[in-house]
Amino acid sequence: MKPELKDKFGTAVPYVFYEGKAFSEIDGLDQLVSQIVPIAPVSIKDRIEKLLAKSKVVLFMKGTPENPQCGFSSKTVALLKQYDGLEYTHFNVFEDNEIREGLKKYSNWPTYPQLYFDSKLVGGIDII
């Protein structure tokens, strides 16, 4: 333990710092736990709907528009680029497996990419 911490807090270890305040030993940790407000879990449906609310057009794809990681995602991005000025948000399904699997159930569409307009599924590359 650093000497300056030992002088300030004594020899009890471990120290947990929360919002700049030190907590140690069982009593201190009990105090810390009593101050922490539990975060309610967010359902996968709520997470998906939050993503869909980010933009009028949302593309769930493998990779990114700059670096598509499958041929179908690449073709979809190329199609969207044809519409000059079209603004859309994308989500790389490789970054979050819970979204990747949950969206298949949410949309009842088993493959990617998935294109949404006004939070409604348009479809995959075969429909687009």
Using a cut of 0.75, tell me whether the model's pTM lies above it: no
Q: Is residue 14 part of a domain?
A: yes
Contact 61, 91 (CB under 8 A): yes
Provide the CB-side half-sphere exposure for 74 (13 A, CA).
Answer: 5
Same domain flag for 23 and 66: no
Residue 101: per-residue pLDDT: 97
Same domain flag for 65 and 115: yes
Same domain flag for 15 and 65: no
Domain count, the chain: 2
Mean pLDDT by 10 residues, the chain (128 residues): 59 63 59 68 94 96 97 96 93 96 96 97 93
Residue 105: per-residue pLDDT: 96
Dihedral sign (CA 101, 107, 111, 116): negative
Residue 98: per-residue pLDDT: 96
Residue 31: per-residue pLDDT: 64
Rounded to an integer, what distance in angstroms lies between the CA atom of residue 88 and that of residue 79?
Answer: 12
Both tokens assigned to 77: 């991005």
What residues make up the domain containing 71? 44-123
Same domain flag for 81 and 62: yes
Q: Is residue 60 part of a domain?
A: yes
